[in-house]
A = this chain, B = another copy of it.
Amino acid sequence: MVPQQAVWAEIDTPAPLIDVAQLDRNIAAMADAFALGPVSLRPHAKTHKCSAIALRQIAAGAIGITCAKVGEAEALAHPDIDDILIANEIVGPLKIARLVALARRSRITVAVDDAGNVAELSSGAASAGVTIGILVDLDVGMGRAGVATIEAAVALAHRVAGSAGLRFRGLMGYEGHVVDERALVQRHEGTRAALEKLSAARRAVEKSGLTVECLSAGGTGTYAVTSGWPDLTEAQVGSYVFMDANYRAIEGMEAFAPSLTVLATVMSRPTPTTVIVDAGLKAMGSEYAAAELLDFPQAHCIYLSEEHGRFDFPADPGLHLGDKVRVLPPHGCTTSNLHDRYYALREGDVEIWPIEARGRCQ
């Protein structure tokens, strides 16, 4: 095997590195967690934005992918990535025209929380002769999008079911308010409360005469609950592929380990115990946690500025100008969005994996 430092020497910095063996272990671990249960995996591609990774997830058993935006779905649609849930409300004529075009070549499902939006989706789909799958989005406690009550969900479900060009498929709810709660007990309690509301909505919709073929929820932090929740049909886990600093710090993530780091160069050594690297806010997403140095657990990130990271050490770490280090990003999902390609490393080989959906926020 080629020594790590020799491989790194050929890669300019900052650069997003993927440890392919660890990535595959993460994908396998999540697939295992869902393999025997009632719930299927539909991993959220917002985390990696990359068809090479989506294809590995599908090869491991995922039934399709979740996307956040029409632009992500456009960038990732592929003969083998053809069943896509856009887990978001898609509003306005420009986006709906693109959604309809996408629905000609892929099986597309989107979320709704508004009757007027149902009408514009129906009009766009029907006039183009396509069918768009619809999940009614229920707010399960996050306070973002979604209808607030089960009664409203039932009413909207019937409106969807009666709309040309749309197929009512079921419900979704995202427990984003608890998904990265540090303490496992509180996280699982909050998740169960959210899923109980979603289950109650499913029962109410079914009692009203509609079939619910899809009930979707879930993020990485809550997989131990969602994977065993009988009413769910699929889970939208995303961050487990990379295990960023934020997720690594919460309880219950022992099955996963970091696979994405940002390779950085030591560019200044102002004191024996301070290391300045050439990766900052423009090379990694900084919200929710502090950056770490993967191979130097004793390092403490003092700050990230736009193009610098400052790490202080309890004692001189023996790092020199030009040395390369791996920074564990605070937030993987916003790190992938800053780069055009991953450097995928496996046994001394480097492959370039394009991040096709980078910047596709529309």
Chain A contacts to B: CB under 8 angstroms: 10, 12-15, 46, 68-69, 88-92, 94-95, 98, 113-114, 116-117, 120, 139, 143-148, 176, 265-271, 274, 276, 278-279, 281-283, 285-287, 305-308, 310, 321-322, 333-334, 337-340, 358-359, 361-362
Closest A-B pairs by Cβ, 7 of them: A145-B268, A12-B94, A91-B267, A68-B307, A12-B362, A282-B361, A89-B267
A91 partner, pick from B69, B94, B265, B305, beta carbons under 8 A = B265
**Whole-angstrom CA separation of A287 from B278 in the bound complex:** 18
Q: Is the CB of A305 within 8 A of B362?
A: no
B95 and A12 contacting across the interface, CB-CB below 8 Å: yes
Q: From known contacts A337-B282, A339-B359, infer whether A321 and B287 are also in contact, taking CB-CB under 8 Å.
A: no
Q: How many chain copies? A: 2
- Cβ contact within 8 Å between B146 and A91: no
Of listed A12, A13, A361, residue having the most chain B CB within 10 A:
A361
In the complex, chain B residues whose CB is within 8 Å of the CB of A282? 334, 337, 361
| Interchain CB contact under 8 A, A310 and B359 | no
A285 to B287, CA, bound (A): 10
Give Cα A18–Cα B36 distance, bound, in whole angstroms: 53
A279 to chain B, nearest CB (A): 7
How many angstroms from the CA of A46 to the CA of B95 in the assembled complex? 31
Contacts of A276 in B (CB 8 A): 144-145
In the complex, A281 Cα to B285 Cα: how many Å? 9
